[in-house]
Each structure stands twice: as structure tokens, then as C-alpha cells.
């Protein structure tokens, strides 16, 4: 539903808060889409608040920091105070935490660094935001962060204080302890709120949980700062120190500026916490293991310590004078088995014609006579009655192959097979 508000055509609502609402509108005079912030109607009736609003809007318009959304115009139309700001497409940090849970430490540090730049620029101009919280930090799709809602910032240069109405400015969950007293408030109150935002980005929860305003005020005044690692164990422990110092009860104990807080957070992200030393077990002697390892490395080559008295030779320091290592003695290599002997192809049985047996190296006896059977006739002396074979003493001769064989026996030297005359004697008679 669209409706007209002066020169602005309102197209829809973006967000709504305790002090008013932010609308999406179209500026017909400058032909652009803007974010229009309308304050509550009862606030415009307060003269003190109207004066404070004009001072703060004029001071915020002087800022030229990229992380601060610029204010185009401000004023009053039909009894309603408004702010004309640049429209940023994105989501606030509070919505991101509710939708996706706690951020990674690197993403949380990146957002805190950008917000710290905007706060340092505002503090340099004498402005205190006084309402730093996740819902006032917008994050564009490219990760660029903006700090919005400078409408409740107070000028430090103003001598008068416009707080007589008793209106509690800011959100209680992120307010510094000095905000609850009548003491002076400076830029270190924004440092406290930024440390609360860092804690919520790391853990996804507010620093102090309370159902009532009294419980929140008591927690900010008396309870110690919470530790991120107590809620989320994977957060580096260095962030505990950063959050504890940023949320210190005394302003003098905090960081001097928002940029110093951001640098400490970046250092906590990149540093590694030292692990406390653990009592070491008693060390054992290493020389047995070293000696065993040296022996195993020398085993394949068979090099063991030489015998006593055997040192390196003069020619080569690496070679020992001992021929064989001690006490290791390698086995002798087994001799290869010779191939089986083949029987001579020249061997055959003697024929019946009395032809001498061919050369047979196994039966050749060097230096001795052999008896060779011959076929004799029945009239020849010394003939055998059974086989007709006579035995004669022959003189061995050399054959063509180099072995000895007996020649054909002669009748004059025939021997009787049945007489069995001793070898070497001559017989003068034969037995018939």
C-alpha cells in the first residue's frame, strides 16, 4: 500500500523501533529511492527533543565516512520529524544472527573493524552514537557494513544536556554502566557497546540475559564480563581478553578508541594461544635403539664389527684388514650339480663272429691285460666244448678314439677256459 508523505511516496516499511519506523520511499523532487525515517508523533510535541534532533541530524550530516549512511535531508512535515537517508539493500546483523546463528570469528572481526572506522570518524567530530547494537549495523550483499541511526547521538561540544525528560536512550542490553548514572558520558561508552556487539557476533547471544530492565542494569553494573569461549568452545581464547577489556566497568580500563578494540580483535584472530606445558615423561636411554637401528641398516650388506684388533687398512679407511666380518660368516655357495652323464653311443654287444667289442671307456683298464673272448674252431687247441669260445691273453693297443682295446687273439697264446691257469704263466699242454 502506497501513500504520500510530502514529496515522498511511501512504498512500504523496512523496520520499526521504539523511536519510530523506517520506510522505503521515492523522492519525487530528486528522482531517487531513499530510506525515510519517521519519528513518533509524541516526540515532535517535545520542544527539547526537537532541538536535540535537529542538532544531531546536522552533526551526522557532516560525516563523510563511507561506513556511515549519509543523511540527505531532515525536517518536519505535518507535525512528524523525518530523516532522508540513502537506501542500502541488505540485512542488519541482528537478523543475520537470528537466521544463521553465530558468525565465524573472521566475519565478526571484519564487521567490527568497519563499524570501528565509522565510530572513530564520529568521535573525531565530537559525536557519540550511544546506540551501537546489531540492529543498527547494516551489511550489504558484498559484505560492506554501515552504521545507521545517528538520530539519538549527542554532541559533546554542547554545554547543555537535553535529558531532562528522563527518556532512556539506547538499548539496555548494550548500554555502558556509566549511562545509568548522572556522570559524564564520552566516546568510551560506544567502545563498551561495540564489545557487546563483538560478543554477540561470536556467540549468537547477548552478553547478559535478563527478563526485566532491573536485572539488566544490575548485570552491567556488578557482573563480570562474559567469556565467549564459555559459550562457544571453537572461538580462540584471545577473544576472552579482548571482550573483557572492552566491557570493563571503569571507562579508564577500556580501550582508548574503537579502532584499538578492532586491532586487538584482529590480533586475537591471527595469534595462537600458547598451550600450557605438560609434564614430560622420564626419557629413556636412546643408545640401545640407535645401536639396534645401525645394526639393522648394516645387516643386508653383511658388515659387522670386525674382530678385536682389526681396524681400517692404510689404503682405504672404509675397508677392514680382516678378510671376513666377525662374528658373521657367510655360508659357502652350493656347487651346481653336474648334468647326468650320457651313455656312449659306441657301446653294443659283441657279435657271434668274434669281432672285438667296440671301445667302452668304462671297461678300459689302463696298464693291464684283459681277457677277450674269441670264436675258435673245434680243432683249435683250447676250444671250449660248450660255447666254443677260448680265452687268450692279449696285448692292449690304442684305438682311434684314444682308448685301449685288445687285438684278435692268436692260437699260440690260447688259454683254456676250464683249465683256469693263473695269469702270467705259460701252458705247454692243453686239455682236450
Last residue in a domain, options 208, 241, 271: 271
Grid cell, residue 49, equals 527533543
Q: Which of 184, 149, 186, 187 has the alpha carbon at shortest distance from 170? A: 149
Does 400 have pLDDT greater than 70? no
Cβ atoms 65, 175 nearer than 8 A: no
Question: Is residue 235's pLDDT more than 80?
Answer: yes
In contact, 105 and 165? CB cutoff 8 Å: no
Measured in degrees and rounded to the nearest 5, phi and psi for residue 218 equal -65, -35
pLDDT of residue 231 exceeding 70: yes
65: domain CATH number?
Answer: 3.30.200.20
Q: Which long-range contacts (CB under 8 A, 24 or more apart) does 372-381 make?
A: 372/406, 372/409, 374/408, 374/409, 376/411, 376/414, 380/411, 380/414, 381/411, 381/414, 381/430, 381/432
Q: 244-300, pLDDT tens digit by residue? A: 999 999 999 999 999 999 999 999 998 755 445 555 556 666 767 777 777 766 555
More confident residue, 289 or 369: 289
Residue 328 binned pLDDT confidence (cut-offs 50, 70, 90): low
**In this predicted model, which residue has the larger pLDDT, 17 or 174?**
174
Are residues 11 and 45 both part of a single domain?
yes
- Give the Cα separation of 412 and 409 in Å (integer): 9
Residue 101 lies in a domain: yes
Per-residue model confidence as pLDDT tens digits over 331-356: 777 788 888 776 655 555 555 555 55
Domain count, the chain: 2
355-364: string of b/e by CB count within 10 Å (b at 16+)?
A: ebbbbeeeeb
Which contacts of 156-165 are long-range, i.e. CB under 8 A and separated by 24 or more positions?
156/126, 156/127, 156/128, 156/186, 156/187, 157/126, 158/55, 162/48, 162/49, 162/51, 162/52, 164/48, 165/46, 165/48, 165/49
> Do both 15 and 109 map to the same domain?
no
Both 81 and 187 in one domain: the answer is: no
Q: Which of 221, 244, 271 is the last residue of a domain?
A: 271
Please give the share of the chain, as a percent, with pLDDT higher than 90.
37
Q: Are residues 142 and 21 in the same domain?
A: no
pLDDT at 282: 64
Are 20 and 34 contained in the same domain? yes
Better-predicted residue by pLDDT, 297 or 363: 297
pLDDT the model gives residue 230: 94
Least confident of 8-12, 129-133, 168-172, 211-215: 168-172
Residues 62 and 210 in one domain: no
Task: Indicate if the alpha-carbon torsion angle 129, 134, 135, 139 is positive or negative.
Answer: positive
Question: Which domain, by its residues, includes 35?
Answer: 1-87
User: How far is 359 from 378, CA to CA, in rounded Å?
Assistant: 29
**Helices first, then strands: H and E counts in the chain:** 10, 16
167-191: average pLDDT: 82
Q: Is 131 a catalytic residue?
A: yes
Question: Does any domain span residue 322?
Answer: no
Q: Are residues 78 and 211 in the same domain?
A: no
3-class state of residue 330 by DSSP? coil
Please tell me which residue, 8 or 401, carries the higher pLDDT value: 8
Check: CB of residue 153 under 8 Å from CB of residue 127. yes
pLDDT value of residue 55: 80
Question: CB neighbours (10 Å) of residue 254?
Answer: 20
Q: Are residues 143 and 70 in the same domain?
A: no
What pLDDT shows up at residue 323? Answer: 52
- Domain of residue 236, CATH code: 1.10.510.10
Show which of 30, 61, 87 is a domain's final residue. 87
In angstroms, the CA 225 to CA 192 distance is: 11
Whether residues 42 and 116 share a domain: the answer is: no
For residue 416, what pLDDT is reported? 46
More confident residue, 220 or 166: 220
Q: If pLDDT is split at 50, 70 and 90, which confidence band does 43 have?
A: confident
Shared domain for 96 and 40, answered yes or no, is no
Which contiguous run of DSSP H or E holds residue 13?
A: strand 8-16
Q: Are residues 107 and 193 in the same domain?
A: yes
Relative orientation angle of helices 258-270 and 105-124, to the nearest 10 degrees: 160
Whether 214 maps to a domain, the answer reads: yes
Which pLDDT belongs to residue 271? 77
Per the domain annotation, does 280 fall within a domain?
Answer: no
Q: So what's the pLDDT on residue 160?
A: 38
267 and 147 in one domain?
A: yes
Select from 18, 131, 36, 42 the least CA-distant residue to 82.
Answer: 36
Residue 364 in grid coordinates: 678300459
List the single range of 233-237, 281-285, 365-369 with lowest mean pLDDT.
Answer: 365-369
- Across all residues in the chain, what is the average pLDDT? 75
177 pLDDT band, cuts 50/70/90, is very high
pLDDT at 46: 81
CA 62 from chain centre, in angstroms, equals 51
Quick: pLDDT tens for 141-166: 999 999 987 755 553 433 334 333 34
pLDDT band at 180 (very low <50, low <70, confident <90, very high): confident
- Which residue is catalytic, options 92, 120, 131, 190? 131
Residue 281 maps to a domain: no
pLDDT value for 234 = 92
For residue 247, being part of any structural domain is answered with yes
Q: Report yes or no on 297 lying in a domain.
A: no
Query: Which of 269-278, 335-344, 388-397, 422-431: highest mean pLDDT?
Result: 335-344
79 inside domain: yes
Amino acid at each position: 500500500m502506497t501513500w504520500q508523505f510530502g514529496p515522498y511516496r511511501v512504498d512500504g516499511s523496512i523496520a520499526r523501533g521504539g523511536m519510530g519506523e523506517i520506510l522505503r520511499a521515492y523522492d519525487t523532487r530528486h528522482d531517487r529511492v531513499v530510506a525515510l525515517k519517521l519519528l513518533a508523533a509524541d516526540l515532535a510535541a517535545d520542544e527539547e527533543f526537537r532541538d536535540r534532533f535537529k542538532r544531531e541530524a546536522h552533526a551526522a550530516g557532516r560525516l563523510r565516512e563511507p561506513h556511515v549512511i549519509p543523511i540527505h535531508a531532515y525536517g518536519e512535515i505535518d507535525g512528524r520529524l523525518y530523516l532522508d537517508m540513502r537506501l542500502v539493500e541488505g540485512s542488519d546483523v541482528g537478523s543475520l544472527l537470528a537466521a544463521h546463528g553465530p558468525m565465524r570469528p573472521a566475519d565478526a572481526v571484519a564487521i567490527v573493524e568497519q563499524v570501528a572506522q565509522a565510530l572513530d570518524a564520529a568521535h573525531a567530530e565530537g559525536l557519540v552514537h550511544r546506540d551501537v547494537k546489531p540492529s543498527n549495523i547494516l551489511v550489504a550483499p558484498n559484505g560492506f557494513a554501515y552504521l545507521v541511526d545517528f538520530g539519538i547521538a549527542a554532541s559533546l561540544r554542547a554545554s547543555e544536556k537535553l535529558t531532562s525528560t528522563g527518556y532512556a536512550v539506547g538499548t539496555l542490553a548494550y548500554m555502558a554502566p556509566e549511562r545509568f548514572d548522572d556522570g559524564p558520558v564520552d566516546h568510551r561508552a560506544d567502545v563498551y557497546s561495540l564489545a557487546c556487539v563483538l560478543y554477540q557476533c561470536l556467540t549468537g547471544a547477548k552478553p547478559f540475559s535478563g527478563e526485566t530492565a532491573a536485572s539488566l542494569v544490575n548485570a552491567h553494573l556488578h557482573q563480570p564480563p562474559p567469556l565467549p569461549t564459555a559459550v562457544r568452545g571453537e572461538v580462540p581464547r584471545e577473544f576472552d581478553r579482548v571482550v573483557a577489556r572492552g566491557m570493563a566497568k571503569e571507562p579508564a580500563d577500556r580501550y582508548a578508541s574503537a579502532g584499538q578494540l578492532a586491532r586487538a580483535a584482529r590480533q586475537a584472530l591471527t595469534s595462537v594461544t600458547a598451550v600450557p606445558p605438560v609434564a614430560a615423561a622420564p626419557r629413556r636411554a636412546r643408545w640401545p635403539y640407535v645401536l639396534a637401528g645401525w645394526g639393522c641398516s648394516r645387516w643386508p650388506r653383511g658388515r659387522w664389527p670386525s674382530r678385536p684388533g682389526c681396524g681400517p687398512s692404510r689404503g682405504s679407511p672404509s675397508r677392514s684388514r680382516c678378510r671376513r666380518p666377525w662374528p658373521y660368516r657367510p655360508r659357502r655357495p652350493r656347487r651346481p650339480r653336474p648334468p647326468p652323464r650320457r651313455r656312449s653311443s659306441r657301446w653294443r654287444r659283441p657279435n657271434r663272429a668274434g669281432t672285438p667289442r667296440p671301445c667302452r671307456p668304462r671297461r678300459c683298464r689302463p696298464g693291464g691285460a684283459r681277457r677277450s673272448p674269441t670264436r675258435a674252431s673245434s680243432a683249435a687247441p683250447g676250444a671250449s666244448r660248450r660255447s666254443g669260445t677260448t680265452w687268450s691273453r692279449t696285448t692292449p693297443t690304442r684305438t682311434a678314439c684314444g682308448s685301449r682295446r685288445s687285438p684278435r687273439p692268436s692260437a699260440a697264446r690260447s688259454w683254456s677256459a676250464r683249465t683256469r691257469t693263473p695269469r702270467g704263466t705259460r701252458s705247454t699242454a692243453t686239455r682236450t
